[in-house]
Each structure stands twice: as structure tokens, then as C-alpha cells.
Copies of this chain bind each other. A is one copy, B any other.
Amino acid sequence: MNNYFEEVTSNLSFTDLSILGHLADHEANTLFKSIKKKVVQDVLKLTEANLRKSLYRLQALKFIVIETSEKEHSVYITNFGQQALYISFSEEVE
């Protein structure tokens, strides 16, 4: 079970990684620094369906938190998400 984290991380899509990368680049790693979904969609030029799919995936993996208490939902990256991003970049450089 030790390699489970690596397995799901290697299974991330380009869109998944783009979202994680955008959140990490903007230090959106706490509720106070979370970024509105609509902004993520616009900056990364995603369709609503593709954004929704990746957010469902990343939420299930606990790589992001989706904050829904406000009318406009916002997202931030978790420690697990930052580790996944780090692993993904390391593998690309190798």
C-alpha cells in the first residue's frame, strides 16, 4: 500500500496538474488564500465540464479543498496536493 500515493499521482491528467500548479504558484494553500473556481477556469482556459471533472478528481484525492460556504466556490491546494505536484515535476525532470 506504500506506493498507492505514487500510483494515483502518476495517473493525474494535464488539467489536474495545471490546476494544482496554478494554486501552488499563487500560494493558495489555505482558506484565506483560496482562489475562486471561475478565476481558475478563466486563467487556464478550461471548459466548465473539464474544470468540474478535475475538481471532482482532485477533491476525492484530497489534493484540494473546495470551499462552498460562499456563493462563489473557491479552491486551495492541500499538503498532499503539493507533494503530488512535487513528485510529478521531479519525474519530468529525470
Contact = CB atoms under 8 A, between A and B. Distances in A.
Interface stretch (A3-11, A20-28, A37-45, A67-75): A3-11
Q: What is the total number of copies of this protein in its complex? A: 2
Interface residues of A, number: 18
A58 B61 CA distance: 9
A93 interface: no
Contacts of A80: 4, 7
A90 interface: no
A62 B4 CA distance: 9
Contacts of A62: 4, 7-8, 11
B61 A8 contact: yes
11 contacts: A1-B2, A1-B5, A1-B83, A4-B62, A4-B80, A8-B60, A8-B61, A11-B60, A56-B56, A57-B57, A58-B60
